[in-house]
Structure 1
Amino acid sequence: MSAFLTDSNLIIFHLSLLAVLLLGMVETIGYYINFRPTQLIKRIFPQRLHELALLNVKFSKSLILFFLLMNFSFAGYVLQFCIHAQEGHFVPSYYLFLPALIIAIFFTVFMIHCLDQVVPPKYKKHSVNLLGRLATISSGNARPGFSAQARVRDEFGQLHYVQVEPEFGELEFQSQIILIRQKKSHYVGKKICLSNRLFNPS
C-alpha cells in the first residue's frame, strides 16, 4: 500500500484526487460562510468561456472541474493498474497523461449531460403571452365547446401550437384568426374577415 502511495508514476493522479477532496472541502466550508472561492474563478476567465454550450448548465460550474479532476485521477489509476497487470510495473505518468485526459473529458461531458437533465432550472420560464397575435387553424375545425389546434408565432418568432375555439360560429381548417382571450386550457379566437387588412392569404 505504501508503495502505491509513494510511487512517482502515480503522483500526478494522487494530486488530482487530492485536489478533488480539497475542492469539495473548500466549497462546503465556503457555502456556510457565504464565500465560495470558485466564484473568483468566474472573474478570472473571459466572459466568452461561460457562453460555451458545455458551460451553459443549470448547476455550479465548480462541479465541472470537480468531475474532470475526479475522472482524470480514476482514469489514470485504471490505465496504470491495467499496465501493471500486464507488465508487472507502472509506466511514467507522462505516457498516460493524454489518454487519461481524453477519457476524463469523455466521462465528464457524459456526467454533465446526465446531471443537467435532472437539475431543475434556477429560473422558471415565464409563460408566453400570445394574446393579440395572428394564428392559423392547423388541424380540424373549431366551434364553441370543441377546440382545434392552431399554430402561432410569438414575438421572438418561435412557433407554438395551441388549442383554440371561437366565441360563436365556426373556425374552419386553415382559416386565420386573432387570439383575443385565454382560458385555462385553450385560447378563444376570432376569425379575420377577408376584407380585414390584417388578413394574410399566405
Structure 2
Amino acid sequence: MSTFLTDYNLIPFHLSLLAVLLLGMVETIGYYINISPSQVLKRIAPQRIQELALLNVKFSKTLILFFLLMNFSFAGYVLQFCIHAKEGQFVPAYYLILPALIIAIFFTVFMIHCLDQVVPPKYKKQTVNLLGRLATISSGNARPGFSAQARVRDEFGQLHYVQVEPEFGELEFQSKIILIRQKKSHYIGKKISVSNRLFNPS
C-alpha cells in the first residue's frame, strides 16, 4: 500500500484524484455559503471559452472539470496497473499522461452528452427564427387556406415540424420549399424548382 501511495510514477494521477476531492469539497462548501466556484470561474473566464460547444451544457461547468480530472486519474491508474501486471513494475508517468488524457477526454465528453440529455434546461429556449430556411413538405399537400406539415432544421441542426401553406398554387408532398413569411399559426412557403441551385447544389 505504501508503494502505491509513494511511487513517483503514480504522482500525476494521485494529484489529479486529490484535485477531484478538493474541488468537490470547495463546491460543497460554496453551496452552503452561497458562493459557487463555478460562478467565479465563469466571471473570470474569457467570453470565447464560455461559448465553446463543449461547455454549452445545462449544468455547472465545474462538473466538466470534475469529470475530466476523475477520468484522467482513473485512466492513469488502470494503464499503470495493467503494465505492472505484465511487466512487474510501473513505467514513468510521462509515457502515460497523453494516453490517459485522451481516454479521459473521451469518457468526459460521453458523460457530458449523457447528462445533457437528461438534465432539464435551466431556461426555456427562445423562439427560433426559421425564416429563409429550406423545408420539406412531410404530410399531405398545401394550398392557400389549407396548410400542411413541413420539417425544417434550425441553425443549430434541431429538427422542427411546422405548418406551411403557399401564397398561391399548391405545395405537393415531399416538395422542397423556402419559408418566406410567418403568420400567427403557420409559415408561408415558396416552392423551389428542381433546377434551382438551392434545391440541387451540385
Q: Structure 1 length normalisation: TM-score?
A: 0.69
| CA distance in 2: counterparts of 1:12 and 1:153, whole angstroms | 45
* Residues in 2 aligned to 1:29 and 1:126: alpha-carbon distance in whole angstroms: 34
* Structure 1 residue 142 displacement after superposition: 7.0
Q: Do the aligned partners of residues 140 and 3 (structure 1) sit closer, same or farther apart at CA in structure 2, a change above 3 Å counting?
A: same
Aligned to 1:99: 99
Aligned residue pairs total 173
Measured after TM superposition, the shift of residue 16 of structure 1 is 0.6
Aligned sequence identity (%): 76
Shift of 1:27: 0.4
Q: Which residue of 2 aligns with 1:194?
A: none
Preserved CA contact (<8 Å) 1:80 1:90: yes
- With over 3 angstroms needed to count, the CA separation of the structure-2 counterparts of 1:72 and 1:160, relative to structure 1, is closer
| Equivalent-residue separation in structure 1 for 2:32 and 2:54 (angstroms) | 28
1:24-52 deviation digits (Å, cap 9, x = unpaired): 11101101110122322223321101111
Partner of 1:4: 4
Question: What SS class does the counterpart of residue 21 from structure 1 fall into?
Answer: helix
- Residues 58-97 of structure 1 show CA distances to partners (whole Å, capped at 9, x for unaligned) of 1110011001100000010001001100111111211211
* In the alignment, structure 1 residue 140 sits paired with structure 2 residue 141: yes
**The residue matched to 1:162 in structure 2 has which SS?**
strand
Equivalent pair of 1:151/1:162 in contact (CA under 8 Å): yes
Deviation string 1:134-189 (CA, Å, 9 cap, x unpaired) is xx994325799x863368999xxx99643479xxxxx973399x87654xxxx699
**Match of 2:55?**
55
Larger Rg: 1
Aligned residue for 1:59, secondary structure, equals coil
Structure 2 Cα separation of the partners of residues 106 and 151 of structure 1: 33
CA distance in 2: counterparts of 1:83 and 1:137, whole angstroms: 55
Secondary structure of the residue that 1:149 maps to in structure 2? strand
Q: 1:82 to 1:143 in 2, by over 3 A?
A: same
Please list every run of 5 or more consecutive structure 2 residues that lacks an aligned counterpart in the other structure. Answer: 173-178, 189-202
Pairwise mapping of residues 20-99 of structure 1 onto structure 2 (< 5 A)?
20-99=20-99
Partner of 1:174: 171
SS at match of 2:96: helix
Contact 1:180 1:188 in 2 (8 A): yes
Residue segments in structure 1 that go unaligned for 5+ positions in a row: 131-135, 166-170, 190-202
Cα separation, 2, equivalents of 1:180 and 1:94: 62
- The separation in 2 between residues aligned to 1:102 and 1:43, in whole angstroms, is 28
Tell me the TM-score normalised to structure 2 length: 0.69
CA contact (8 A) 1:150 1:163 kept: yes
